[in-house]
Amino acid sequence: MVGGDPTPVSGRFEGDTALVTGSTRGIGAGVAERLAAEGANVVVTGRTAEAGEAVAERIRESGGEATFVRADMRDPDDIAALVDAAVETFGGLDVLVNNAGVETDTGADEASMDDWAFVLETDFRSYWLCAKRAFAEMDRGSVVNVSSNHAFLTMPGKFPYNAVKAGINGMTRAMALDFGPTVRVNTVNPGWVAIDRTTDDMPDERRRELESMHPTGRIGTPDDIAGVVSFLASDDAAFVTGAHLLADGGRTAVMQDDTLPDYRTRREET
């Protein structure tokens, strides 16, 4: 089975500077380390200094260039200072990956105003403010907004997270029009990815069941998503903007959760 360890493209971002929000762990950390492995100077950021410094140190130990800047993406002043720090530290900004995200386990009928503000300010408003500030510093470049397959299909108890993720796709299209032709803007829409908050406490039986629902036969890894982000940010995607790219192991291609494992069993029996 092919899986989960895409090979970095040496020198792809040599001399470029990349800012990755929400990069103290999970997908964001994977993206930061991938871009650094491909030659970028990377700004790691998040609210937890210890975790962020650890990511930056791993990058430096691997021969890359990285710095950590603490920022709360709900604070517009922090966002402005973050972009300024990236430019001051490395002399410019070429790639922005908007990845910071939170969610609440609430339905549309029970979410509070605090839930609404918490998710929208972190997952949505910060993407706009960070991209707007970064665009002013970019002679040319790329913005990649990390959304979710919840932009297309969802489940109960994920509001307003699911609404925001659909909104990010629309935001990307608007930014592609307004930031072009010098800056491209695209979205990557991950599905199930093995990170702390999704799989650490998951029973093995549930993990196997979940994997069986994917045409790939597995769920994703941060490296899987980092490879897609790297492609969209790079000149290999020079003619791609305003697009969204599903990276969900084919999950949204399956209409019913039990369809694929049953189908495979019947094929094996024949």
Active site residue 263: no
Q: Give the sheet arrangement for strand 183-190, strand by strand.
A: 65-70, 41-46, 17-20, 95-98, 141-146, 183-190, 244-247
- CA neighbor of 145 nearest in space, from 173, 106, 119: 173
Residue 262, helix vs strand vs coil: helix
For 26, 59, 116, 167, 269, the CA distances from 150, given in Å and listed in that order, are 18, 31, 17, 11, 34
| Options 13, 68, 161, 179, the catalytic residue | 161
Instruction: Tell me which residues are annotated as active site.
Output: 161
